[in-house]
Amino acid sequence: MLLTRYGFREWFIITAIAAVLLFVAGYFELYWLAIAAFVVWLALASFFRDPLFRKPATDNACDLVSPADGLVSAIIEVPQHPATDGMPATIVRIYLSVFDVHINRAPCACTVEALDHTAGKYLDVRIEESAAVNEHMLMRCKTTTSGIAFGVKQIAGKVARVIVNPQKQGNTLARGERYGMIKFGSTTELIFPTNAVESIAVTKGQRVKGGVTVLLRMRA
């Protein structure tokens, strides 16, 4: 288990603060302060954990894995979506709590076509409206194998207000590769053309693991 590079600034700050508190606690023999500082540091540092050795639970190139750890909060179809060039789309929405790993991963081998950032509200992500009106980053991609246009969307929430996505147009990503994170949890969506979906492998309420759990299979 490592700490993600996307959180260097935050965990450096909390480590410095914890070190000062531990020094004060040791100097004045305030052992309760030392314990409290360590517990808070551990909790905050865990937000930026980055599990190693994750491998997709499939060898089929047509399988798309989860872009995030969390709970499948919705599986819906919409008549059109920018990520699918205005075509009907199937959306698998994943809710990330503050206890989940916050790293986002590519669902399949793909090329980044564009990044669309939209300012918005910071509603609680458990409110359905939040997926449409909250600040978000839509990364539009094309699959490496067949050039299908799809997207992954990082959505900010009431607590999570920092979306990190350093990708640029033309970047290539392997299935399961890290591409960014949402700091302190929120929502991530996989958006795929409905006519290119062969089957959906998850159900609402199911827990998924980023880069591992298969969400759907695209048509060969």
- Asked whether residue 22 falls in the same domain as residue 90, the answer is no
Enter the DSSP assignment of 22. Answer: H
Tell me how crowded residue 145 is: count the other CB atoms within 10 A of its CB.
13
Structure tokens, 150: 């799809």
Structure tokens, 204: 């609402």
d(CA 192, CA 178): 19
- Asked whether residue 34 falls in the same domain as residue 141, the answer is no
Output the pLDDT for position 117: 95
Q: Do the domain assignments include residue 146?
A: yes
DSSP letter string over 114-141? EEEEE--B---TTSTTHHHHB-EEEEEE
pTM above 0.85, yes or no: yes
The residue among 90, 81, 84, 53 whose CA lies nearest residue 215 is: 90
Residue ranges of the chain with per-residue pLDDT less than 50: none
Domain limits for position 116:
63-218
- Asked whether residue 22 falls in the same domain as residue 86, the answer is no
Cα atoms found within 13 Å of the Cα of residue 102, Cβ hemisphere only? 31
The answer to whether 155 touches 132, Cβ cutoff 8 Å, is no
Output the pLDDT for position 185: 63
The answer to whether 198 touches 219, Cβ cutoff 8 Å, is yes
Q: Do the domain assignments include residue 56?
A: no
Output the pLDDT for position 7: 79
Structure tokens, 161: 């207000």
The answer to whether 156 touches 186, Cβ cutoff 8 Å, is yes
The answer to whether 179 touches 66, Cβ cutoff 8 Å, is no
- Asked whether residue 105 falls in the same domain as residue 21, the answer is no
Q: Mean pLDDT over all residues of the chain?
A: 92
Q: In the chain, how many domains are there?
A: 2
CATH number at residue 204: 2.70.70.10
Output the pLDDT for position 217: 97
Residue 168, judged by CB atoms within 10 A of its CB (0-12, 13-18, 19+), counts as: exposed
- Asked whether residue 164 falls in the same domain as residue 114, the answer is yes
- Catalytic positions are 186
- Asked whether residue 84 falls in the same domain as residue 42, the answer is no
d(CA 135, CA 50): 24
d(CA 110, CA 172): 6
- Asked whether residue 150 falls in the same domain as residue 80, the answer is yes
